A and B are shown apart, each in its own frame.
Chain A
Amino acid sequence: MNERSSTLVPFEDALTRYEPVMGLEVHVELNTATKMFCGCATAFGAEPNTQVCPVCLGLPGALPVVNEKAVESAIRIGLALNCEIAEWCRFARKNYFYPDMPKNFQTSQYDEPIAFDGWTEVEVDGEIFRIEIERAHMEEDTGKSLHVGGSTGRIHGASHSLLDYNRAGIPLIEIVTKPIEVPGDKAPAVARAYVNHLRDLMLALGVSDARMDQGSLRADVNLSLRPSGTTTFGTRSETKNVNSFRSVERAVRFEVSRHAGILDAGGSVVQETRHFHESDGSTSAGREKSDAEDYRYFPEPDLAPVAPSRAWVDELRATLPEPPAERRKRLQSEWGFSDLDMRDTVGAGALDLVAATIEAGASPAAAKKWWLGELARRSNEQGVDIAALPITPQQVAEIQSLIDAGRINDKLARSVFDGVLAGEGSAEEVVAARGLEVVSDDGALSAAVDQAIADNPDVADKIRGGKMQAAGALIGAVMKQMRGQADAARVRELILEKLS
């Protein structure tokens, strides 16, 4: 692969000479009960080919019928992105052959998207960036291939493939931005924040699970560079199916470095599809599709045009959730967060998690502490999005309630997180199974205090002499004996009782 031959220019260095221009195409899989054009169920993870019918298998004679809920979701997404809603639009066939696409055309929208000309805003480091939306259109997903006989289940070297069409025909909304021109150093974070923002929006609308790890939110990152101070766009690359928020940021950084390397060497960037590799954050060229340029779009004759009445659009407008910026403002004041607290929470992709944790009973401070501390650290270590950690806001709130009840302390709580994240059950179950409960039984504590006094006679004397602050050393000794599982407040009381 010759793309390895040109050197990567460090990101910051590249920005001294070039400005990146980005375009983001995000595919959102809707959470409708049935597929876009047929009545098949859409459950994730079902047994292969159990959610199929003549329509989504592309059997001869089968005809599509549009799912009204999908149109409704598309319109609501369009409205939430401040788009115009088409008064009349059609589906189109996008013709190309691929085994995961049963009809060998994708039913999509071409030059008549249901929503167009919108905008939205994202916040990065306290700064607001306006992203212009080109369009949002309806289409259908493809089936899934399992490649057999290759080394790693990948397509390369496989002897054959096995196809499951459960996913074929699930409704997708493709949201396309206009070119995003922001200061280069902000570009990766803006890209990430935008995708994160779309996720929040989809969840608030209730139209999608919006899970990047399950593919119900997928981002394609288009990127080009131009010499600083110029206005003509350079040639872009299209990095497909970037599967986490962090990867969106990494893909932008990598492509900036790669393009700069090519341009510095006097080369020219090839307009091509590229694949992102989670392992090292790099991208590689996809195979050229010989007919990629000629999809022979034409209006889908089997489907009637969609002409949403203004009354319907207004009705749907009334169902929109609070816009994210206003919601953030409201939550910040309700929670008593500082601007910095709020920025950190949003930046970590934890706003909804924190909100749900508070809703489940935790205090705002506690919810923030766990999500931005313990859990953010773990998501960084594991390289997964914080929302993808196998713990729910309810579980976090439960752990905090155990702390509030004095049954565990902060230190023990970390072990409880370990257990819950390892799938050992609820917080209660983990505490029981791992024996993590704080000991506040006077009998056991009293013996441990006596032992600590005996081991540290000089410290005991100081306390007897009125130096109460020395009690900390004895408490530490007791905690050590009891492996941290002592109720520190009760230990202090016992020490003072015994030595007064």
Chain B
Amino acid sequence: MSIDVTTATAAALAEALADGTTTSTEVTQSYLDRIAGADDQLNAFLHVDAEGALATARAVDARREAGEQLATLAGVPIAVKDLIVTTGQPTTAGSKMLEGWVPPYDATVVTRLREAGLPILGKTNLDEFAMGSSNEHSAYGSARNPWDTTRIPGGSSGGSAAAVAAYEAPLALGTDTGGSIRQPAAMTGIVGVKPTYGGVSRHGVIAMASSLDQVGPMARTVLDAALVHELVAGHDPLDSTSIERPVPAVVEAARRGDVAGLRIGVVRELGGEGFQPGVRAAFDRSVELLVKAGAEVVEVSCPHFSHGIAAYYLVMPSEVSSNLARFDAMRYGLRVMPHDGASAEQVMAASRDAGFGDEVKRRIVLGTYALSSGYYDAYYGSAQKVRTLIARDFEAAFEQVDVLVSPTAPTTAWKLGAKSDDPLSMYLEDVATIPANLAGVPGLSLPVGLADDSGLPVGVQFLAPAMADDRLYNAAAALERLVDMPRLEEIK
């Protein structure tokens, strides 16, 4: 049987590789060709490692030929968000601060990709240090949305989303601190998952907000996402916040996709005012499909979710201000000498001004304020209490239902530049995704069709209790079969 390698799912590729229909070298080369042809329009990649990817592909092909038992995804290429450190190719975090920096170690998730034999195509574009919802804060120019290249692909994992949506990669890793996997997945019509906090190692993932960050898969199908999830998840002794429990059976759940009798809660606070009509209509249709498939859908209230953004924009910048202190021009990264004989202190301050973009500086200064003496209790302390209340809302909701559902984002992809002058309006885009990060629970965004009003992809978000990531995959796989999500035919 023949296969169109660039449009095939990762699961199909894995089968074709296993049965010898194709080789990893052929698949990897096809994707590299696609990147070479399309990325001028998309700017999804900051670095393409053709040589490294092909070397891995050839090695996997040789091992397969030798009859070795290989991992399911062996030979299937993947793209990695440039926030995740990799030996052998640069890691910039989308910042001038780290331009040209080649890490001397691999992130645990990268080690797992390498051990399983996935060729790493390259490093994908992102908002600088993952701070943004549009990709416009990348120091290397915004990635573009393949459905309309005058629009944002979402952020911060916009490069990974654009690459997967535009068939530049079958799979990608992203990171999600306040929605940075799920929102760009929704904007570009792909599947994106933020696993349970602690489900996937953060070792080697450049920290934005340590108590919120999580690595997750981005793919074109629920099953593909599950295959990556299963591969990269699991306990890591190098990450103290990593959970020492078996990985939820996500692949099995993705294959099952049965919502008959499943209790699904529609979150009253996520979907009303401020949500684009086309998004709401697509969401309502999805809920009807779930009901038809046998789910028991009820409305639930999570009253404190409305304070999620406020809490998030205190907790996150506070942690950012501390996490990004290490970028000081002393041991690595950009060093700017403001004048001859400048002191270390002056060089630090000048380098940090030159190396960081506006959004990064804004958050560092905000976080410095929220943590400073006299304000800590009022801001950081109060925000951490709101987290507790949001976690309690989730607990109460999950006593009534198995999963929660909401639109992933209030709008479809907007025009580049449309919100860049107003940071607050950009922050409000994260309203539906933030509660999961604050409480540590998993979330998945599934593309459910194009909005009637904008003609752009809409995502529906599923949320589940901590370490019940499999419920997301089960529910999303069921809905995936029922929705009418058109294929991207060409980059526009």
Contact = CB atoms under 8 A, between A and B. Distances in A.
Direct contact of A and B (CB under 8 A): yes
Given A59-B105, A298-B371, A304 B326 contact: no
B325 A95 contact: yes
Given A59-B104, A294-B372, A301-B210, A66 B240 contact: yes
Contact of A61 (B84, B211, B321, B380): B84
Interface in A134-187: 159, 161, 163
Interface in A301-325: 301-304
A139 B237 CA distance: 21
A298 B322 contact: yes
A301 B367 CA distance: 15
A63 B203 contact: yes
A99 interface: yes
Interface in A231-252: none
A307 to B, nearest CB: 14
Nearest to B371: A296
Interface stretch (B26-34, B260-268, B327-335): B327-335
B458 interface: no
A105 to B, nearest CB: 5
A335 interface: no
A93 B322 contact: yes
Nearest to B380: A298
Contacts of B331: 57-59, 102, 163
A499 B238 CA distance: 86
Contacts of A66: 240
B328 A99 contact: yes
A420 to B, nearest CB: 44
Interface size class of B (residues with CB under 8 A): 35 or more
B344 A99 contact: yes
B240 A102 contact: no
Centre residue among B101, B325, B341 by max chain A CB count within 10 A: B325
A104 interface: yes
A101 to B, nearest CB: 9
Interface in B64-106: 84-85, 91, 93, 98, 101, 103-105
A65 interface: yes
Contacts of A59: 85, 103-105, 331-332
A63 B239 contact: yes
Interface in B370-405: 371-373, 376, 380
Interface string A51-63: 0001001111111
B181 interface: no
A150 B398 CA distance: 66
Nearest to A64: B240
B241 A302 contact: yes
A54 to B, nearest CB: 5
B421 to A, nearest CB: 30
Interface string B102-136: 01110100000000000000000000000000000
Interface string A459-493: 00000000000000000000000000000000000
Given A54-B105, A66-B240, A97 B85 contact: no
Given A61-B203, A99-B328, A294 B373 contact: yes
A497 interface: no
Contacts of A302: 207, 210, 240-241
Contacts of B207: 60-61, 302
Contacts of A97: 325, 328, 345, 348
Given A95-B322, A99-B344, A104-B328, A54 B104 contact: yes
B336 to A, nearest CB: 15
A63 B202 contact: yes
A60 B240 contact: no
Contacts of B348: 97
A97 B206 CA distance: 19
Centre residue among A64, A104, A297 by max chain B CB count within 10 A: A104
B344 A63 contact: no
Given A59-B104, A296-B372, A298-B322, A163 B237 contact: no
B381 to A, nearest CB: 9
A293 interface: yes
A296 B371 CA distance: 5
A58 B326 contact: yes
Nearest to A39: B238
A103 interface: yes
A65 B237 contact: yes
B236 to A, nearest CB: 9
Nearest to A298: B371
Nearest to A54: B105
B205 A301 contact: no
A63 B326 contact: no
B461 interface: no
Interface string B323-359: 0011110111000000001001100100000000000
A66 B241 CA distance: 11
B208 to A, nearest CB: 11
Contacts of B103: 54, 59-61
A159 B103 CA distance: 29
Nearest to B373: A294
B438 to A, nearest CB: 13
B368 interface: yes
B174 interface: no
B444 to A, nearest CB: 24
B155 interface: no
B371 A95 contact: yes
Contacts of B84: 61
A296 B93 CA distance: 25
Nearest to B213: A301
Contacts of A304: 240-241
B286 interface: no
Nearest to A38: B238
Contacts of B203: 61-63
B131 to A, nearest CB: 14
Nearest to A302: B210
A302 to B, nearest CB: 5
B229 to A, nearest CB: 20
Nearest to A95: B322
Contact of B206 (A60, A159, A161, A296): A60
B7 interface: no
Contacts of B209: 301
A293 B240 CA distance: 30
Nearest to B348: A97
B470 interface: no
Contacts of A60: 85, 91, 93, 98, 101, 103, 206-207, 326-327, 332
B153 interface: no
A294 B322 CA distance: 13
Given A65-B240, A102-B326, A105-B325, 19 more contacts: A59-B85, A59-B105, A59-B332, A60-B91, A60-B101, A61-B84, A61-B85, A63-B238, A63-B239, A65-B238, A66-B240, A95-B371, A97-B345, A97-B348, A99-B344, A296-B376, A298-B319, A301-B211, A302-B210
8 contacts: A58-B326, A59-B103, A60-B207, A60-B327, A63-B240, A102-B331, A298-B376, A302-B240
Q: Which 8 A-B pairs have the closest CB atoms?
A: A104-B325, A296-B371, A301-B211, A301-B210, A61-B204, A60-B206, A58-B326, A61-B85
Interface of B: 84-85, 91, 93, 98, 101, 103-105, 107, 202-207, 209-211, 237-241, 318-319, 321-322, 325-328, 330-332, 341, 344-345, 348, 368, 371-373, 376, 380
